[in-house]
Structure 1
Amino acid sequence: MMDWINDTLLQAGLWMRGYTTQIALALVATLLVVYGQDILRAVKAVVRPYPLVFRLLVFVLMCVFGFGAIAVFLAPWVAQGLMMVDTLWLAPTVAGAFLILGFVAERRQQL
């Protein structure tokens, strides 16, 4: 029985190794969905005293370039972290990470 579980986890981990970059990007994108409103709220607090046109420009730039830059720069770090996880534990780690993010989203009532 344990051999079957180990073999299944190993096969799942080996399969996931080829998609580490995509998994990391999905994790970062999920984080941005969950915490994006907080980021925008913080930026809004900083630009509140400025004129409407400037605030609008900052909002557009933050949405277009800010979140994109966060995803582009953070995803490789997450991928590097995933590459450090032993293949046997990769599938449970990825599943656990998404479950935790789902739990956080639910607690924040965004799901």
Structure 2
Amino acid sequence: MEIKHAIQVTIVDDSTGEKCDAHCGVDWSSAESISLVAKRIKDWFGNRIQLEYLDLSKSITNHHALELSQQVKDKNLSLPLLVIDGQPRISGPFDIRQLLDAIEAEVEIKT
């Protein structure tokens, strides 16, 4: 069975926030990291996934981004935050494998 709509994956982060000095986790504010994960997502899932990076340190202009920003504050969620179809999935540092595993679980649920 095929997914009826694309799954929206959003990585929410703050590029001005503290980073681990020991380079723990992925620096999602880096264009290289986003480019790499976009390629991996396309390799694994084709065009069924839409990836977005939301930097909370930048001015927020769209409704979806404002909702996510408010959710981070209201629920005291750690950044980076992985959101799939509007639902927080991983709060705090995560790597590409964990992101792909979370997407795969979502794909299985929706098919």
TM-score of the alignment, normalized to the shorter chain, above 0.5: no
TM-score normalized by structure 2? 0.30
TM-score normalized by structure 1? 0.30
Greater fraction helix: 1
Question: Highest relative contact order (Cα 8 Å, sep 6+), 1 or 2?
Answer: 1
Q: Select the structure of larger CA radius of gyration.
A: 1
